[in-house]
Structure 1
């Protein structure tokens, strides 16, 4: 339970170092956008990379070469999806969500909040976390593409 053998520990250390170096190399080659969490799709890829790295480290049934291919495949697919998204608006709409206006000029947009499944309490919590006191302080409250809530304060003239 606590210790099986030194061979398993040596494998974890060796494979861990090699997999880590491979991941860093792939991420440097693919660019900053690969780990940007600009939308839900990006977050899923980031989590999948972490899960894949974990599987490479801890599952003896996953060979290092297979794990490296899996990491490379995830990064390549992320690159291709973002590459096509930048060039084709229709494809971009398919893979990412648009921001949603949840409140404007001190009033909630109830229909949008219902559609996005955001409660008033969650919205008010985001407003307070951004430095506001309540909905009356908000010029706009936006549910961003990555799932975060952004509060804009001050009324437009």
Structure 2
């Protein structure tokens, strides 16, 4: 359909604007971590917030107050999970993946790479993106908890305190 009624359009405009303002307010109150791309749960919350906003905008069956309640539930759950991962220590792996070393001192760990469903070509691409020409110039490549590949060149190892435990 191209057009139903002006009242439907007016509803989208008014409820959409109110829902948007509400979402921005909830996100500002909850802090920067709510939209950080740190782990799978953070990504799920970000996608769910966007989906909730779209539902509020386009579904007349969902009221503004129900949408704001959904925003609050998602943000409060995200805050609870982020608090627990920061305070529970080793048990946080239920929600947060551990970083995985894929390359150590120029040698690619093919078992780790295959175990993480990555190809050698993808690892090489990460090395090139870091401005490095070969594995021999790389001290570590780490698959981070958010899915990004960190490339640490041999000249940038420093004291090694930012490498995984046991990697030094």
Q: How does 1:118-157 map to 2 (within 5 A)?
A: 118-154=118-154
For 1:59, the equivalent position in structure 2 comes to: 59
1:120 positional shift? 0.4
For 1:78, the equivalent position in structure 2 comes to: 78
Quote the RMSD (CA, aligned, Å): 1.6
What is the DSSP-based 3-state SS (H/G/I as helix, E as strand, rest coil) of the residue aligned with 1:62? coil
For 1:34, the equivalent position in structure 2 comes to: 34
For 2:99, the equivalent position in structure 1 comes to: 99
What is the DSSP-based 3-state SS (H/G/I as helix, E as strand, rest coil) of the residue aligned with 2:142? strand
What is the DSSP-based 3-state SS (H/G/I as helix, E as strand, rest coil) of the residue aligned with 1:102? strand
1:31 positional shift? 1.1
Query: After the TM superposition, which of the residue ranges 134-143 and 15-24 deviates more from structure 2?
Result: 134-143
For 2:164, the equivalent position in structure 1 comes to: none
* In 1: Cα distance, 2:90 partner to 2:137 partner: 36
* In 2: Cα distance, 1:117 partner to 1:90 partner: 24
Gaps of 5+ in 1: none
* In 2: Cα distance, 1:58 partner to 1:126 partner: 40
1:135 positional shift? 2.3
What is the DSSP-based 3-state SS (H/G/I as helix, E as strand, rest coil) of the residue aligned with 2:2? coil
Query: After the TM superposition, which of the residue ranges 81-90 and 18-27 deviates more from structure 2?
Result: 81-90
What is the DSSP-based 3-state SS (H/G/I as helix, E as strand, rest coil) of the residue aligned with 1:142? strand
* In 1: Cα distance, 2:64 partner to 2:104 partner: 52
Gaps of 5+ in 2: 159-168
